[in-house]
């Protein structure tokens, strides 16, 4: 368990503040994460890494000369939002573009992909790379589906060293891709981790067993095996990793190999040294050349009892980049680098973003939209426990909590935009960023996409009508499917959003008013949400336990239908009857 904390909800924020204070000569805090506190080469590519908090030294501990320029940090085990990533990337940008690189998890893919599009729109060249080194999470034929774990370090380091020597963004991306393709990791767990203030572990492993191939968040692995000796573990992990070597490594004899032995939290250095003693014998027998060995904690999971081993199959260039100097709070190597502090002017974080002003028509509509957000926030808060129960059947049970955090934050941000004179677009855009920031995870990213797209489409000038709203919903639906990769039939909220969008467009084409068209389409959304009970999930964390969810509707689809239905209630209220309005749409 976690012993030292104040309020569990403040743990991540207080951890970051303490980390920055302890390493102020190397890093500084910016909204959304940390960046170097030292000068970087003007015109060079900036490497921005990131993911959820709870994996130290990933990700903040890897920021510094010779490694990352910045780290975007989400809440505990939750991906950072697009807004947080953009904030860090802007602060880290040296003028040569930005490479965003992260582990291949659905929420991270969504948020970093959104951030890339926003940065490009701002004129900052940007690329992304999702790291896929965990061989237990998908077969080689589907390696693009694999998770990113301790092999992250190799990709971060190679890309950063290439950026340090002045490579272009395209060349840095190519190096990062090659490093990813030549990196393989395999891990195991003996017990789960426990969040600050939690009474029970996030996941468990049966007594006397180990989860072979289990992920750092408790994702299912290959199998559960009886705990065995270090020598037997070394043989099993080594042989499995040696078998899956890159295509251009015809034989192990003479191949140059980098090895990372990573403790996940509760398995300590002494045990890792014993394990390495046994692994080395296996590698000597395979006649590989051990070019480098790193033993320690690089990607952890609170107090998770587990470990992983990473093989990096070097070529000459990757080996040189890996061995290049670096100086960060948690990883240093090579000759001492001279750290030059930033000038006071460079430390300025800029002015607060101004809320775009709305026209009189848009401001009037924004008041009504604010009432809808108030109402749907109450609906989600009231149903959060039930949404969590539905999610726990085949997922991790956090959908209700995430939705509640997101909608409450969205309500606060929308109210602020309204008070500052914003129109409908400003109100929805503010709600989008706040929802994604606070909720984190995949649902946070998706609702960020939905609200952001609606805000952009509706703008701050005109009064929304049925046709414009229907077109905005079409764009939002397309955006969700583009960034989230879900399709109809995958058992996600897309199974509600897409048919709702189609029904709303059809009703608008019939000439119905906005309220009538929305009400008609809301009935379609409700039926589609209920029908997801007959589907099995094909993507997301529920996919490995798909059969368990058969007969139960998808929680994301249900929450989507709840929100659509609540908005419909608000639209059909006679706004002149204030007593009625307060009951349904406060």
Distances (CA, A) of 13 to 75, 102, 108: 8, 21, 19
Q: Which of 23, 69, 217, 399 is catalytic?
A: 217
Distances (CA, A) of 477 to 296, 380, 412, 413, 453: 44, 21, 25, 23, 9
217 catalytic per annotation: yes
Distances (CA, A) of 463 to 214, 382, 459, 460, 578: 52, 31, 9, 8, 22
DSSP secondary structure string for all residues of 396-433: -S-HHHHHHHHHHHHHHHHHHHHHTTB-HHHHHHHHHH
Nearest to 205 by CA among 349, 68, 304, 313: 304
Q: How far apart are CA 312 and CA 294, in angstroms?
A: 11
Nearest to 505 by CA among 488, 523, 517, 487: 517
Q: How far apart are CA 294 and CA 310, in angstroms?
A: 10
Q: Which residue's entry shows tokens 């059909």? A: 572
How many other β-carbons are positioned within 10 Å of the β-carbon of residue 467? 15
Do the Cβ atoms of 525 and 499 come closer than 8 Å?
Answer: yes
Contacts of 274 (CB under 8 A, 6+ apart): 230
For 337, the token pair is 């680098």
What residues are paired with 314 via a beta bridge? Answer: none
Q: Where are the alpha helices (DSSP H) in 256-299?
A: 269-286
Contacts of 310 (CB under 8 A, 6+ apart): 133, 149, 150, 151, 153, 154, 183, 184, 185, 259, 260, 261, 262
Residues catalogued as catalytic: 217
């Amino acid at each position: 368990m976690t012993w030292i904390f104040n309020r569990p909800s403040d743990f991540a924020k207080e951890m970051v503040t303490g980390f920055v204070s302890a390493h102020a000569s190397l890093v500084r805090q910016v909204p959304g994460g940390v960046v170097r506190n030292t000068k970087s080469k003007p015109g060079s590519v900036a490497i921005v890494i990131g993911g959820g908090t709870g994996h130290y030294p990933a990700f903040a501990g890897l920021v510094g000369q010779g490694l990352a320029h910045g780290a975007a940090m989400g809440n505990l085990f939750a991906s950072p939002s697009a807004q947080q990533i953009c904030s860090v990337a802007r602060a880290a940008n040296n003028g040569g573009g930005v490479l965003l690189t992260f582990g291949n998890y659905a929420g991270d893919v969504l948020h970093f992909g959104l951030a890339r599009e926003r940065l490009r729109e701002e004129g900052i060249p940007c690329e992304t790379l999702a790291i896929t080194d965990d061989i237990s999470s998908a077969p080689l034929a589907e390696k693009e589906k694999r998770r990113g774990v301790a092999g992250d370090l190799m990709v971060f380091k190679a890309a950063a060293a290439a950026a340090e020597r002045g490579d272009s963004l395209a060349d840095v991306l190519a190096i990062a891709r090659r490093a990813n393709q030549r990196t393989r990791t395999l891990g195991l767990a003996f017990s789960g981790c426990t969040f600050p203030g939690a009474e029970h572990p996030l996941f468990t492993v049966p007594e006397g067993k180990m989860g072979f191939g289990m992920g750092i968040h408790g994702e299912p692995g290959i199998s559960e095996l009886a705990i065995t000796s270090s020598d037997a573990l070394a043989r099993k992990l080594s042989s499995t990793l040696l078998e899956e070597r890159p295509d251009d490594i015809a034989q192990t004899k003479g191949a140059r190999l980098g090895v990372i032995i990573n403790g996940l939290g509760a398995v300590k250095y002494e045990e890792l040294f014993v394990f390495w003693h046994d692994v080395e014998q296996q590698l000597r027998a395979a006649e590989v050349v051990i070019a480098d060995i790193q033993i320690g904690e690089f990607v952890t999971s609170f107090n998770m009892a587990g470990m992983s081993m990473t093989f990096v199959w070097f070529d000459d260039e990757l080996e040189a980049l890996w061995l290049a100097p670096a100086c960060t709070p948690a990883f240093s190597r090579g000759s001492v680098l001279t750290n030059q502090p930033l000038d006071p002017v460079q430390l300025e974080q800029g002015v607060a973003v101004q809320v775009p002003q709305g026209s009189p028509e848009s401001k009037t509509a924004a008041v009504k939209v604010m009432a809808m957000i108030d109402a749907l926030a109450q609906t989600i808060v009231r149903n959060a426990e039930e949404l969590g129960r539905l999610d726990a059947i085949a997922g991790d049970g956090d959908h209700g909590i995430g939705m509640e955090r997101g909608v409450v934050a969205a309500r606060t941000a929308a109210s602020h935009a309204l008070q500052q004179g914003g129109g409908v677009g400003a109100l929805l855009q503010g709600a989008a960023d706040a929802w994604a920031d606070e909720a984190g995870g995949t649902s946070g990213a998706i609702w960020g996409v939905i609200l952001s797209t609606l805000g952009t489409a509706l703008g701050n000038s005109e009064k929304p009508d049925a046709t414009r709203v229907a077109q905005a919903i079409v764009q939002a639906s397309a955006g969700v499917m583009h960034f989230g990769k879900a399709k109809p039939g995958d058992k996600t909220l897309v199974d509600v959003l897409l048919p709702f969008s189609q029904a709303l467009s059809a009703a608008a084409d019939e000439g119905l008013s906005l309220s009538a068209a929305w009400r008609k389409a809301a009935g379609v959304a409700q039926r589609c949400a209920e029908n997801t009970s007959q589907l099995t999930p094909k993507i997301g964390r529920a996919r490995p336990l798909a059969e368990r969810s058969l007969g139960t509707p998808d929680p994301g689809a249900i929450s989507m239908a709840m929100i659509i239905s609540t908005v419909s209630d608000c639209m059909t209220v006679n706004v002149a009857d204030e007593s009625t309005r307060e009951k349904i749409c406060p």
